Amino acid sequence: MKEETFYVMDYDEVDSLIEQHYGRGYEFLAKEEASNDSTHRFNVNGRLSEWDQRDVDKWVQTGSGSYLTSRLLNDLANKGVIPTGNYLIEVCW
| Of residues 64 and 82, more confidently modeled | 82
DSSP state of 19: H
Sign of CA dihedral 19, 32, 78, 89: positive
pLDDT digits (tens, 9 = 90+) for 13-22: 999 999 999 9
Looking at residue 75, what is its pLDDT?
A: 98
Average pLDDT over residues 85-92: 98
Q: What is the mean pLDDT of the chain?
A: 96
The continuous run of DSSP H or E covering 70 comes out as helix 69-78
> Does position 93 have pLDDT exceeding 90, yes or no?
no
- pTM for this predicted structure: 0.94
Tell me whether residue 38 is exposed, middle or buried, using C-beta atoms within 10 angstroms of its C-beta: 0 to 12, 13 to 18, 19 or more: middle
How much is the pLDDT for 18?
98
Instruction: Count CA within 13 A, CB hemisphere, residue 24.
Output: 13
What is the per-residue pLDDT across 40-80, written as a single tens digit (0 to 9) for each? Answer: 999 999 999 999 999 999 999 999 988 999 999 999 999 99
Q: How many CB atoms lie within 10 A of CB 11?
A: 22
Q: Is 6 helix (H, G, I), strand (E, B) or coil?
A: strand
